[in-house]
Every structure is written in structure tokens, then in C-alpha cells.
Chain A
Amino acid sequence: MEQTPFYQTHVDAGAKMGAFAGYDMPLFYPLGVMKEHEHTRAAAGLFDISHMVHVSLSGAEAAALVARLCPYHADQQTIGQARYTFMLNKDGGIIDDLIVTRLGDERYLIVANAGCAEKDVAHIQAEATPFDVTVEILPRAFLALQGPKAEAVLGAHFDVASMDFMTAQEPADGWFVSRTGYTGEDGFEIAMPKADGVGFAEKLLADDRVEWIGLGARDSLRLEAGLPLYGQDLSEEITPHEAGLIWAIPKDLRGGGGHIGADALAEKIEAGRNRMRVALLPEGRPVRGGTDLVDDAGNNIGTVTSGGFGPSLKGPMAMALVSVSAADAEIFADMRGKQIPMKRVKPPFVAHNYKR
């Protein structure tokens, strides 16, 4: 199992470690998932996200390669702009969801999920062959600082107050700071050379407003924010249309374009989707991913893809993929024969607090 540059720091902080995407990662610290979650919503949470992969694309045809890999107008992307997008397979299914930032005329940075690193890199390298582009995996330490105090904390180290949500800068050689995150809170993601990681984390932790936050609270925070997680809510078999992510594709590219999967996705959009991602409130108890959903007659209508307890919501919450024809009727989770009513709600479960 691999370790991030912060492994010993987590152990010294008393973290309970566990396997995630091939890395030994902190699941929670002595503070506990509940308080870590609440701390992030109230102050500033520090997350080790070094397991995520950073792929640099540079060269005269970098924009053309990004436009081939991802369904958006990469050539029109402003320098310093970060964008949520995905790579599609030939059938229009999602290979991975990503943040792609344009760092220069001929330079892009892809930040991809840890669990997809190997297949993403293989896919990018294979597609890059005909293009004049250099593909590099950047060895980086990567931290997220999330919460309403993140700007004030990070402001002691970088000029970040003027940054808008979904923008990025490179404050020093090998450093990258973006106003992004996956908690629903304002916050930043900071990449740096591996050797600089622990020292910088210690500087941030010297601020009383900062606490380490583990993967347990990372999951409850993102689920409250209604954000899908690849491998649970998204997969190669699910299209952006089904996942409710069509907003991330420009209108003029939904009917076709030069990106991989364009025709297949256009056909599927035209035909209409049979299933859709929804947000549900389970009555009384948490309902976990993998649980079957049924209608009032007991017919299977879908599956819970993510489920858990929301510390800020103060109750259970779930994301699910359900038949469109059953989405507006009564939905129940089938828990070993017991039927738990699931109330459909409009996501997010907890309002976003982004800096716009």
C-alpha cells in the first residue's frame, strides 16, 4: 500500500488509518468524524488529498487534446480558470470526473480521482499520441483547506482574498493554489513539491482554526453538498445525463462535437434517459450504498449509490440512481425485507457556501 508525504504526520496526530484507492489514508483523527465535519463547516478543515493524481498537459496542441478528452471548449477556457468536467468513453459513460485548469496558452492541469489514476493516465497517454503534447504525472503533495475560515488562514501565506471560486494561481515554482474543493464550503486546494508538504501543513496547523480532517468526514461533507463520488455515484456505465451532470457540458456540444463519446452521448440525450441520480432523505435511519429501492408495490426501481449520516443535516441522507418513471412516486429502501420510506428532495442537503 502506498503512503502520501503526510503519512507519518497522520500517525503522529493519532489518526485511524485505512486503505483507500491503494493508499493508507487517515479515516478519522481523535476529534472524531462528527466533530471534524462540524469543524470544517464552522472554521477550517485540512485534508490530505495527495492520493489524487496531477497530470500536466503541455505543448502546442494541449487545448486540442483537452477538447478531445473532455466535452467542453478547452480553447476558450480563460487562463487561471478551473473547470469541473469529465472524460467520457466511446459509449458516453464517465471514465472519471475531473477538475481541469488552464495554466497557460499551451498548458493545462488535470486533477483526477485516486481510484481512477491508472486507467486515466493510460487513457490520456493513448489519446495524446497524435497530438503535439507532453503528458507528465507531477509528483506533488496535495492539501485541501476547506471552510469559512480557509481564506483568512491561507491568506497569511498567499494572496488569495482576490481569488474567485474555480480559479487558480501558481504562486511559486512547483506550487499550485486553486479556490476549489469538494465539501460545499469555500476553500482551497494547494499542491506543492513533496518535500515541502509536511512543513507547509505544520504552518497551517499552527493556526488554531485549522484541524486535520479524515476521509470519513470528507465523505459526509461531500454527500451533504450533493456532490457525486466516482466509483459510487458515477461509473463507466453511467452517462452525465443520467448523473444529472449535463450542466457541465456546453449546450452546443450536447448534440455532438469533437470529444470522445460525443455521438453516443448525443444519441442517448435524444432518446431520453431511463434512470436519473436523485437525492433522498431516508426516514429514521441511515441507508447505505448498494441498498435496493422499491416502489409501493415492491417493484425494484433503483439502487442507493451513496448513503450516510449528515452531521450538519442532523439526519440520514442518500444519493441513488432510480428509474425516471418511478422518481416522482413513493420510494422505499428495502432493508432485509423492512421498507424504509425515502423522501425525494432537491440537492444539496446542506446549502453551499462558495465564494461567488
Chain B
Amino acid sequence: MSKIYYTDEHEWLSVEGDVATVGITNHAQEQLGDLVFVELPDVGTELEQGDDGVVVESVKAASDVYAPASGTVVEVNEKLNDDAALVNAGAEGDGWLYKMKLSDSSQLDELLDADGYQALIS
């Protein structure tokens, strides 16, 4: 059973065991508009919480997506290399960015739950 966390930087993590799937929220993709390119990290990259792990590019602007927790990248969503718009179509589903093995699961305690995130954006 996975548990979903959110950050105030508009990312989500779906955690199962010590592996988190990371993406941007639907709210974030609405704000960014049509995405044309996603720069994913290499598998094996060690990210510290707050590192700019991913760059998402809309037609007009590039935005950093910060690592919501520390850990090692174990898989990236290769489909985004061919179709960045998958993030627009399903930011909190098929448009996930990467999976990471968490190095400090206590960091999750500081993140938001769905209600907390809803309150932040409304």
C-alpha cells in the first residue's frame, strides 16, 4: 500500500517501502502550460533534498523540479523523452518523472498530505 506526500514546491511522492515515485502535481502542470521537454537525471544519481533533479520546459520557460527528499535515482520515466506532454495529460499518473530509493525516510514527516496540499493551492 503506497502513501502519497506533497511538497510546497508542487511535487508529489508515492512511497512504497523505501522507494518513492516522484512527479509534479496537476496544479503545477496547469501553471506551467504545455511541456515540450523534460530533462531527467541519470539512473544512479544521488540527490539531496532540494537539489534540482529535473528540468521541465514549457514552450516559453524552463523550471527546475527539486528533489523532494534525499536518495538515489533508480528509474526514470523514459516515455517522457519522446513525449513530454504526458506530464500535462497525467501529471499524477503516467507523467511521473523518476523513482528514487530514499536515504532518510524521516524527511517524509515534514511533507504535506493531500489535504495540506489542497489547502496550500486553494
Measured CB to CB, the residues of A under 8 A from B are: 16, 27-28, 32-35, 37, 215-217, 219-220, 285-286, 288, 308-309, 311, 316
Q: Which of B39, B59, B61 contacts A37 (CB 8 A)?
A: B59
- Taking CB atoms, residues of chain B closer than 8 Å to A308 are 59-60
Q: Which of B37, B58, B60, B88 contacts A285 (CB 8 A)?
A: B37
For residue B31, CB closer than 8 A to chain A, the reply is yes
B60, A216: Cβ atoms closer than 8 Å: yes
- Taking CB atoms, residues of chain A closer than 8 Å to B34 are 32-35
Q: Which of A27, A285, A286 contacts B33 (CB 8 A)?
A: A27
For residue B113, CB closer than 8 A to chain A, the reply is no
B39, A33: Cβ atoms closer than 8 Å: no
A309, B33: Cβ atoms closer than 8 Å: no
Measured CB to CB, the residues of B under 8 A from A are: 30-31, 33-34, 36-37, 39, 57-62, 88
Given contacts A16-B33, A33-B33, A216-B33, contact A285 B57 (CB under 8 A): yes
- In addition to A27-B60, A32-B33, A308-B59, 7 A-B residue pairs with Cβ atoms within 8 Å of each other are A16-B30, A33-B33, A33-B59, A215-B60, A216-B33, A285-B37, A316-B36
A19 to chain B, nearest CB (A): 13
Cα of A220 to Cα of B88 in the assembled complex, Å: 19
Cα of A311 to Cα of B60 in the assembled complex, Å: 11
- Taking CB atoms, residues of chain B closer than 8 Å to A27 are 33, 60
Cα of A215 to Cα of B62 in the assembled complex, Å: 16
Cα of A148 to Cα of B59 in the assembled complex, Å: 22
A-B pair number, CB within 8 angstroms: 47
B37, A286: Cβ atoms closer than 8 Å: yes
A24 to chain B, nearest CB (A): 15
Cα of A33 to Cα of B31 in the assembled complex, Å: 12
- Taking CB atoms, residues of chain B closer than 8 Å to A35 are 34
CB-CB nearest in chain A for B38: A285
B31, A309: Cβ atoms closer than 8 Å: no
- Taking CB atoms, residues of chain B closer than 8 Å to A16 are 30-31, 33
CB-CB nearest in chain B for A335: B39
Given contacts A16-B31, A285-B57, A286-B57, contact A309 B62 (CB under 8 A): no
Cα of A216 to Cα of B58 in the assembled complex, Å: 9
Cα of A308 to Cα of B57 in the assembled complex, Å: 9
- Taking CB atoms, residues of chain B closer than 8 Å to A28 are 33
Q: Which 9 A-B pairs have the closest CB atoms?
A: A309-B36, A34-B34, A33-B59, A216-B60, A32-B34, A286-B57, A33-B33, A309-B59, A33-B34
Cα of A220 to Cα of B30 in the assembled complex, Å: 19
- Taking CB atoms, residues of chain A closer than 8 Å to B61 are 288
Cα of A152 to Cα of B97 in the assembled complex, Å: 45
A33, B60: Cβ atoms closer than 8 Å: yes
Cα of A219 to Cα of B30 in the assembled complex, Å: 19
B57, A216: Cβ atoms closer than 8 Å: no
- Taking CB atoms, residues of chain A closer than 8 Å to B31 are 16
- Taking CB atoms, residues of chain A closer than 8 Å to B39 are 285
Scoring B34, B39, B57, B59 by chain A CB atoms within 10 A of each residue's CB, the highest score goes to: B59
B116 to chain A, nearest CB (A): 24
A174 to chain B, nearest CB (A): 34
CB-CB nearest in chain A for B88: A32
CB-CB nearest in chain A for B61: A288
- Taking CB atoms, residues of chain A closer than 8 Å to B36 are 34, 286, 309, 316
A34, B62: Cβ atoms closer than 8 Å: no
- Taking CB atoms, residues of chain B closer than 8 Å to A216 are 33, 58-60
Cα of A9 to Cα of B117 in the assembled complex, Å: 30
A32 to chain B, nearest CB (A): 5
Cα of A293 to Cα of B21 in the assembled complex, Å: 35
Cα of A101 to Cα of B41 in the assembled complex, Å: 52
- Taking CB atoms, residues of chain B closer than 8 Å to A288 are 61-62
Cα of A207 to Cα of B36 in the assembled complex, Å: 30
B31 to chain A, nearest CB (A): 7
Cα of A235 to Cα of B3 in the assembled complex, Å: 51
Question: Can you list 29 residue pairs at the A/B interface with Cβ under 8 Å?
Answer: A16-B30, A16-B33, A27-B60, A32-B34, A32-B88, A33-B33, A33-B34, A34-B36, A34-B59, A37-B59, A215-B60, A216-B33, A216-B58, A216-B59, A216-B60, A217-B59, A219-B60, A220-B59, A285-B39, A286-B36, A286-B37, A286-B62, A288-B62, A308-B59, A308-B60, A309-B36, A311-B59, A316-B36, A316-B37
